[in-house]
Amino acid sequence: MFEHTFPRNIVVLGSTGSIGTQTLDVARRHPDKVRVVGLAVNGSLDVLAAQAREFGVRRLAVGNATLATDARVRGLLIPTLEGVCASQKLPAYQASLDFGDQAVVDLIHHEDVDVVVNALVGAAGLRASYETLKAGKVLALANKESLVVGGDLIMPLAHELDAAAGFAHYLMPIDSEHGAIYQCLLGEDPAEVAKLWVTASGGPFRGRKREDLRDITPAQALAHPTWNMGAKISIDSSTLMNKGLEVIEAHHLFSMPYDRIEVVVHPQSAIHSMVEYTDGSVKAHLGTTDMRIPIQFALSYPQRWDAPVKPLDFRQLGSLDFQAPDLETFRCLALAKEAGGVGRTLPCVMNAANEVAVAAFLAEQGSYLGIAECVEAVMNAHVAGGAGGVAAVESIQQLLELDAWARREARANLR
């Protein structure tokens, strides 16, 4: 059973991405409290090598199994390494290097692991989240799809662990919005919560209408005004799909009905989210727009460590603006809320279609407005009976099979 002791041994899945590198920065700032014992990437061998050297990590995994024969592996950690194979021993670092999806999951199960930071991109993170909680480890979750696709499987595991431990801690959200709501709920009676307010910056196209977005390029959509994020999540932020995914996450994380979760556009991004209570009081979480703050809190709770960034200066903040999201222009938010409201397997289909449509747009094989059109077409096909129609979520395997069907359907509906 997990205890509130330090240092905590962490595994970082997706260590070379935005969340992963910022997690390592938190570990770098607090070496007496955070010890990195495992790193996983999809294919960034060179960056993985540098991270392993700096933190002295003994267990490494590369999700892309085809890289096992890559010439760069020979010198990944030791220039004189002879031969390449799974579980290749690297004596100078007492480390092992494995390849494939199973290798990534295997990092979770070592006895000395306390916390798993899941910063994997897309639906690939679902299995890792499930295995983390099954193994009784704390899940610091940055992978949205784990709850969007598999919330009906993930949350019961987290609730069971929390009940046995006597405190809610086994699933710590890393998202700035959900981390903010988590903190606003600390010490409060859930029965007295009237509404969750999830804030959105509005992305690079805030204020534009649908006709203004017809010829949008990937470069334009990637230019987020507030946050520095990876390509996929940046596109999701520009379409407001990201906010739709967060609404579904909030529903699962905080057991909140959809009609009590609201999205509000807040361009300054100073307020990361709010909780409204039955007596009319509202708690808002404010702070500098830097992901290291929610990452650090997920690793430090119930403690608070020294700020990893310069605190927000309210004297220089200026105004705080709010407006309702434009659901007609940004159809992805409306589609995500619809999928969440129906629930069961529809969010899985919606998410898979979005991943395919976004990837096509980034590769200039689909249009910006076509992202929502593709997602809607695949959702409609599933509701109409495709892949057996909308059904209760029963297993990881069921979701993986449905994900594969939705991706095929999405590729046939690129616009």
Mean pLDDT, residues 206-221 taken together: 96
Contacts made by residues 278-287, CB under 8 angstroms, sequence distance 24+? 278/192, 278/193, 278/194, 279/192, 282/197, 283/184, 283/188, 284/184, 285/179, 285/180, 285/181, 285/183, 285/184, 286/312, 287/311, 287/312
Mean pLDDT, residues 71-81 taken together: 58
Cα–chain-centroid distance for residue 165? 25
Residue type (1 letter), 287: G
Closest residue by Cα to residue 177 from 70, 286, 279, 84: 286
If DSSP codes are grouped into helix, strand and coil, which group holds residue 183? helix
- pLDDT at residue number 308: 87
- pLDDT at residue number 201: 93
Distance CA 359, CA 366 (A): 9
Residue 79 has pLDDT above 60, yes or no: no
Distance CA 146, CA 360 (A): 22
- pLDDT at residue number 2: 56
Distance CA 240, CA 307 (A): 29
User: Using 50, 70 and 90 to split pLDDT, how confident is the model at 220?
Assistant: very high
Contacts of 367 (CB under 8 A, 6+ apart): 214, 361, 415
Of 2-11, 122-131, 174-183, 308-317, which has the strongest mean pLDDT?
174-183
- pLDDT at residue number 94: 52
- pLDDT at residue number 226: 74
Mean pLDDT, residues 22-36 taken together: 97
Task: Take residue 305 and report the two structure tokens written for it.
Answer: 């460590």
The per-residue pLDDT for range 112-128, each reduced to its tens digit, is 999 999 999 876 799 99
The per-residue pLDDT for range 222-237, each reduced to its tens digit, is 998 777 778 998 999 9
β-strands 95-99, 59-62: how paired?
parallel
Mean pLDDT, residues 181-201 taken together: 97
Residue 195 burial (C-beta neighbours within 10 Å; 0-12, 13-18, 19+): middle
DSSP state of 323: B
Residue 379 has pLDDT above 60, yes or no: yes
Give the torsion through C-alpha atoms of 303, 305, 308, 313, to 10 deg.
Answer: 90
Global pTM reads: 0.92
DSSP state of 363: T
